[in-house]
Amino acid sequence: DIQLTQSPSFLSASVGDRVTITCRASQGISSYLAWYQQKPGKAPKLLIYAASTLQSGVPSRFSGSGSGTEFTLTISSLQPEDFATYYCQQVNSFPHLTFGGGTKVEIK
Amino acid sequence: QVQLVESGGGVVQPGRSLRVSCAASGFTFSTYPMHWVRQAPGKGLEWVALISYDGSTKYYADAVKGRFTISRDNSKNTLYLQMNSLRAEDTALYYCARWGSSGYHDHWGQGTLVTVSS
């Protein structure tokens, strides 16, 4: 199975900060990676797919980059509604999909 | 708008069975593959199973293979997960998720909680 390692697992940031989350794959996955946002008590929400394509309706302050084994999710200016847990997901080994362990973004 | 509503969760003893459902609306259910994804309390996301749009192809995570069965009734716009021989480690919030044309989970339900405990 392809393992995804997210870092950091927790980060504390202020409104307006630029935030970067990293996801590393245990083997190359091309660009077959998505990012999801999950708020407490809510279902995950697709933010970015194919490593860098913004899902419809998602604010442009979110962006994704990377290919192969290293990927990043960047929030250019953190907003109050962005405090949540973020997960990466690989679909390269479809149908056996895997998720990263998550990164919790909290208010400093 | 797309809606996915899970139901059927509850408390069940180890070794027993439970079936959870996901009612879909707001899109042509019969044209989309569907998945189950679970989340243990306070933990991350784990893919469980996938079914093709017509129900002809099914895949399972190793952790549930041989115990869980995914199915769908396109006439009722409903997805199912039959869970047999349940274990404590199956305790989780079970989400149904649509596999969108982008090739990712573009819509999720709110989840149904399954607790396996004696």
Q: Which residue has the tokens 């847990």?
A: A85
C-alpha dihedral sign at A104, B104, B101, B53: negative
B53 has a chain A CB within 8 A of its CB = no
Contact A73, A48 (CB under 8 A): yes
Cα–Cα nearest to B61, from B41, B44, B36: B36
CA–CA separation, A2 vs A43, rounded Å? 24
Check: CB of residue B51 under 8 Å from CB of residue B97: no
The answer to whether B1 and B71 have CB atoms below 8 angstroms apart is: no
Q: Give first-to-last CA distance, chain B, whole Å.
A: 40
User: Looking at the partner chain, which of A43, A55, A94 has a beta carbon nearest the beta carbon of B95?
Assistant: A43
Chain B nearest CA to A106, separation (Å): 16
Question: Is A3 within 8 Å of chain B by CB?
Answer: no
Chain A positions touching B45 (Cβ under 8 A) are: 36, 44, 87, 89, 99, 102
Given a cut of 90, whether residue A108 has pLDDT beyond it is: no
The string of pLDDT tens digits covering residues A44-91 is 999 999 999 999 999 999 999 999 999 999 999 999 999 999 999 999
Contacts of A3 in chain B (CB under 8 A): none
B44 to A34: CB separation less than 8 angstroms, yes or no: no
Interchain pair B104, A91: CB under 8 A: yes
- pLDDT bin (cut points 50, 70, 90) of residue A1 is confident
**What would the two tokens of residue A17 be?**
């900060």
Q: What is the pLDDT of residues A5-22, one digit of tens each?
A: 999 999 999 999 999 999
Better-scored residue on pLDDT, A64 or B103: A64
Work out the end-to-end distance of chain A between its first and last CA atoms, rounded to an integer number of angstroms: 36
B56 interfaces chain A, CB cutoff of 8 Å: no
Residues of chain B contacting A49 with CB distance shorter than 8 Å? 102-104
Per-residue pLDDT band for B80 (boundaries 50, 70, 90) equals very high
